[in-house]
């Protein structure tokens, strides 16, 4: 007969509690990750709708679609991970149900023996004769204790069987919920896979169209390169002017301002990976040197920052305390705001309007303007510089 020791039962309870906690945490993490990806996908869908009706840039549309494909694959991967997790949990739950069934069977058999024993000894005379027939005092005491505790043991066994059956029903209900949730995740995954196939087809169509229109694309790229080079030269000029002004060459007042800036600089440099995002959106164009996604030997202009796809009318906020040094208007980028943080600078482009002016002191999270929609793309172009060296903004902004 299987005996269920208290220590074994305690271990079972602890194991079930840990599994339940881990499962709840994992489901919560999955839901948060899924919600974030779905939000990014919805945002890029809006961008694609705008882009389809207004943009002349095939490369811009291809960039958005490929960003969407990347998000969609991440969502499918997250669904696959969760399906595997559900599968493991369902397997473990079924094992626990099987063990509970075995336990109930064992308890029921033992309880039946107790009932039969109690029935056989229901006559008090039989009890007395059985005790008096003992070979010694110790055996007599044990037999007396057995009869005295028989009814209590039966009650305990009945309670244990009832508790085990209740636990079994709860486990079966939990298992059914898990199976239903797993089916929902699978259905969601199938929906995402269908959307992914459509987006990959759109990407292939644009690639084919670009290949057929190489001359048109080369003109488009030349115009884009001209805009980027002009922006890079302008920001380098603005930063050089700001550094010169804060170097002390502007006189006594400038020297005083420089001391304040350097204190701010030390603070800024300690916040790598902690800065708030200037806007809530999806990075669709990353920092650094990249090659054309179709004409793979064609080197694209070096990107000194990142482009963040956002909703129309999004308010743009400062990432750190600083001083507005300049507001300029650039072809292809509309209004741009340069903010100095000691030896560090943050640069915000593609603004429809600004709510600050040169010389204003700003605090972290202050609104400095509203994003613009240019050729169907509602995107913030954002840069971070240390003196005259561009930095990768994604390394400075906090992870989401």
Residue 359's domain is classified under what CATH number? 2.70.70.10
Q: Which of 226-230, 243-247, 379-383 has the highest mean pLDDT?
A: 379-383
Confidence of residue 176 (pLDDT cuts 50, 70, 90): confident
Shared domain check, 109 and 45: yes
Domain housing 392: 247-396
With H, G, I as helix, E, B as strand and everything else as coil, classify residue 306.
strand
What is the pLDDT, as a whole number, of residue 362? 95
Question: What does the pLDDT read at residue 315?
Answer: 96
Q: What is the pLDDT of residues 240-284, one digit of tens each?
A: 888 887 665 544 444 444 444 556 667 888 899 999 999 998 888
**Domain stops at, among 185, 211, 237:** 211
Please, which residues have CB within 8 angstroms of residue 41's CB and are 6 or more apart in sequence? 68, 71, 72, 75
Could you tell me whether strands 389-391 and 377-386 are parallel, antiparallel, or unpaired per DSSP bridges? Answer: antiparallel
Residue 14 lies in a domain: yes
Q: Are residues 206 and 253 in the same domain?
A: no
Q: Measure the CA–CA gap between 187 and 194, rounded to whole angstroms.
A: 11
- Can you give the pLDDT at residue 160? 76
DSSP structure string for 120-185: HT-SHHHHHHHHHT-SSHHHHHHHHHHHHHHHHHHHHHHHHHHHHHHHHHHHHHHHHHHHHHHHHH
CA distance 344 to 319: 12
Count other Cβ atoms within 10 Å, centred on residue 215. Answer: 8
Does 296 share its domain with 376?
A: yes
In whole angstroms, what is the distance from residue 350 CA to residue 373 CA? 8
Q: Check pLDDT > 80 for residue 153.
A: no
Are residues 133 and 45 both part of a single domain?
yes
Judge if 146 and 292 occupy the same domain.
no
Residue 234 lies in a domain: no
Per-residue pLDDT tens digits for 41-88: 777 777 666 655 544 566 777 777 888 888 888 888 888 888 888 788
Q: What is the pLDDT of residues 293-340, one digit of tens each?
A: 777 777 888 899 999 989 889 999 999 999 999 999 988 899 999 999
Query: Terminal CA-to-CA distance of the chain, rounded, Å?
Result: 56
DSSP three-state, residue 75: helix
- The verdict on 199 and 260 lying in the same domain is no
Q: Tell me the pTM.
A: 0.60
Give the chain's mean pLDDT.
77
pLDDT tens per residue across span 108-143: 777 676 666 655 555 555 555 555 566 677 776 666
Cα→Cα distances 102→4, 6, 97, 109, 277, Å: 11, 17, 9, 11, 56
Structure token pair of residue 297: 């030997």
What is the rounded average pLDDT of the residues 152-168?
73
The number of domains in the chain is 2
User: What is the token pair recorded at 383?
Assistant: 């840069």
Where does the pLDDT of residue 368 fall: very low under 50, low under 70, confident under 90, or very high at 90 and above? Answer: very high
Element (H, E) at 38: helix 6-54
Picking from 192, 195, 215, 290, the residue whose alpha carbon sits closest to that of residue 58 is 215
């Amino acid at each position: 007969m299987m005996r269920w020791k208290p220590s074994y039962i305690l271990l079972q309870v602890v194991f079930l509690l840990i599994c339940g906690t881990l499962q709840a945490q994992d489901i919560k993490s999955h839901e948060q990750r899924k919600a974030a990806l779905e939000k990014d996908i919805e945002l890029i869908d809006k961008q694609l709708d705008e882009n389809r009706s207004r943009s002349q840039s095939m490369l811009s549309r291809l960039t958005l679609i490929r960003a969407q494909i990347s998000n969609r694959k991440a969502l499918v991967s997250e669904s696959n991970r969760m399906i595997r997790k559900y599968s493991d949990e369902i397997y473990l739950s079924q094992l626990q149900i099987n063990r509970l069934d075995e336990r109930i069977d064992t308890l029921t058999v033992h309880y039946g023996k107790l009932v039969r024993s109690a029935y056989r000894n229901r006559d008090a005379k039989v009890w007395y004769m059985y005790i008096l027939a003992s070979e010694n005092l110790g055996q007599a005491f044990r037999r007396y204790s057995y009869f005295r505790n028989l009814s209590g043991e039966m009650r305990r066994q009945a309670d244990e069987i009832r508790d085990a059956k209740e636990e079994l029903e709860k486990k079966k209900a939990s298992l059914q919920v898990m199976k239903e949730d797993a089916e929902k995740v699978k259905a969601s995954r199938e929906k995402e896979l269908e959307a992914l196939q459509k987006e990959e087809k759109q990407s292939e169509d644009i690639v084919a169209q670009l290949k057929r229109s190489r001359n048109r694309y080369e003109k488009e790229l030349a115009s884009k390169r001209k805009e980027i080079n002009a922006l890079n030269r302008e920001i380098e000029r603005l930063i050089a002017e700001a550094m010169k002004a804060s170097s002390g060459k502007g006189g006594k007042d400038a020297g005083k301002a420089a001391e304040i800036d350097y204190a701010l600089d030390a603070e800024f440099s300690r916040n790598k990976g902690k800065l708030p995002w200037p806007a809530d959106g999806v990075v669709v164009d990353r920092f650094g040197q990249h090659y054309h996604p179709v004409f793979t030997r064609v080197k694209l202009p070096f990107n000194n920052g990142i482009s963040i796809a956002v909703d129309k009318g999004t308010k743009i906020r400062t990432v750190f305390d600083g001083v507005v040094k300049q507001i300029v208007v650039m072809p292809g980028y509309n209004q741009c705001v340069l903010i100095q943080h000691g030896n560090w600078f943050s640069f915000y482009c593609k603004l429809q309007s600004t709510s600050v002016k040169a010389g204003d002191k700003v605090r972290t999270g202050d609104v400095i303007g509203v994003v613009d929609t240019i050729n169907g793309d509602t995107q913030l172009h954002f840069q971070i510089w240390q003196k005259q060296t561009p930095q990768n903004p994604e390394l400075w902004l906090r992870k989401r």
